[in-house]
Amino acid sequence: MRKTMRYLSVAFACALAVGFLGLTPTASAQRRRVVIVGPRLFWGPFYPYGYYPYPPSHMAANFGEVKIDTHQKDAAVYIDGGYAGKIKEAKKFALRPGNHDVELRDADGQTFFQEQVAVTVGQTTKLHVS
């Protein structure tokens, strides 16, 4: 009985160690880029039925904006490969400072505009698309 319990406890400890080692990320795993794209309007505690008209103070301190000026209203915006929204819904996008890839795609999913933009804190980067 003692031998059996000892073997079971050793087997359980080995299985537990293998399980924990399997959960650790490998060195070859790719790092994902995190992009925070936020709308211009935010809910406020004193505005239960509408939007608070100004961004909070941390937004201006830690983010920059990209403003896209285009005549194509059905274009979809992709930032760093991720879907950010439609042009007809939002023309400004709040982003963290740094370089970002901005793509505009038509209704068929074809890219018609692609550019890398540099976003700085508290500044608005304007893109003019024909």
Question: Domain range spanning residue 100?
Answer: 28-130
Rounded Cα distance, 96 and 57, in Å: 15
In a domain, 6, yes or no: no
Instruction: Give per-residue pLDDT as tens, 28-57.
Output: 455 555 555 554 444 445 544 444 444 555
Answer yes or no: is 104 within a domain.
yes
Give a yes or no: residue 17 inside a domain: no
The alpha carbon of residue 87 and the mean position of all alpha carbons in its chain are separated, in whole angstroms, by 17
Q: Is the pTM of this model over 0.85?
A: no
pLDDT tens across 67-112, in order?
A: 999 888 889 999 998 998 898 888 888 888 999 999 999 989 899 9
CATH number of the domain enclosing 105: 2.60.40.1120
Both tokens of 75, joined, read: 């274009």
